[in-house]
Copies of this chain bind each other. A is one copy, B any other.
Amino acid sequence: MSNRRKVQLQCPMPKLDFDVITLGHGSGGILTNQLLDKGVFDLLKNEILDQRHDGAFLEFDGRVAFTTDSFVVSPIFFPGGNIGDLAIHGTVNDLAMCGATPKYLSLSFIIEEGLKMTEFWEVLYAIKDACEQSGVQIVTGDTKVVERGKGDKLFINTTGIGELHPKADISVANIKVGDKIIVSDQIATHGIAIMSIRKGLEFETTIKSDTRYLNYIVEDLLDNFDSDVHLLKDPTRGGMATVLTEIARDTGLGIDIDQKELPIDDQVKGACEILGLDPLYVANEGIFICVVSADKADECVNLLHKHEHCTHAVIVGEVVDEHLRQVVLTSAIGGRRVVNMLVGEQLPRIC
């Protein structure tokens, strides 16, 4: 609600002839033009988008990273954000994880007929805000509308291009035995925020999604530790467990994780217990895992602590020459167990 009020104050919705999105808004004809002219183009305006060609013209000199993500999160509004900022942050962060500075995004909507214009406007506004904060521009887009019952309010695809950080040398191939594994902040927050609202727990908790942009933090890390940063990964769908098992699989090495080091908010931990979820498998949006040279790990953590959203950064594990291709967790009471990749679907439509 406070978000909705903020939108109304800062960027009032233009007067339109319609209250809901209809199939005609996806026709490519007059209604599409009206929607774009009075909504999307005005709000997201920048020099490149204003050219309004079918494609955007960009200039590059050197290596770029290119990544895509479709967002189908349900519900589209959740504590801490909505599908709009989630879609921007998601692609911005994927570029950051490549060691790139995010620059340009495409934005494509698949709208279910009947979506309220006020809801669409709120999503658009969150997109505008997230772009400004993370320093990216929407330069091209597309809008499709499907019949009622053939979609679910709103799906968004964002695809992004970023320029590679000159000091980045991010590759699984650089990981070696002894490397430390750092997690940048508390885990499992996004997934639990979504589940709380779906399961009706939202009035008992104040858990908000951690959806946020990570690009400036990653730039700072690369500026200072360049090739000692071996790998960056954001543990979104499938959570920490899936990302760590992927690293073990792809390096052929083992990974040791210490459960008592895993940073987790007390409320999130409690909600995991109520919902019967293992926080290692719960989705995150605003944290990342960083595999770094052992001798730089403490300095990395110290640098992360200077960033607002990394105050809980901590070394949680290490790359080892044992139990190859497996992740082994030492539990809080000292037991050891193998961590597997997520089987099946723990939390559908989390992003």
Contacts and interface: CB of A to CB of B under 8 A. Distances in A.
Interface string A49-91: 0001111111111111111111110100000000000000000
Contact of A343 (B29, B62, B94): B29
B61 A65 contact: no
A27 B349 CA distance: 8
A114 to B, nearest CB: 14
Question: How extensive is the interface on chain A, given as a class?
Answer: 35 or more
B54 A98 contact: yes
11 contacts: A24-B343, A28-B242, A30-B342, A31-B345, A54-B97, A55-B66, A74-B150, A147-B348, A150-B151, A150-B152, A157-B159
A22 B340 CA distance: 20
Contacts of A22: 345
Interface stretch (A102-110, A121-129, A259-267, A308-316): A102-110
Interface string A156-185: 010101101000000000000000000000
A317 to B, nearest CB: 20
A228 B9 CA distance: 49
Nearest to A73: B144
A287 to B, nearest CB: 15
A62 B59 contact: yes
Interface stretch (A134-142, A192-200, A324-332): A134-142
A254 interface: no
A57 to B, nearest CB: 6
Contact of A342 (B27, B61, B63, B70): B27
A55 B161 CA distance: 9
Contacts of A147: 348-349
Interface string A234-268: 10111000100000001000000000000000000
A26 interface: yes
Contact of A161 (B161, B242, B281): B161
Contact of A157 (B157, B162, B281, B340): B157
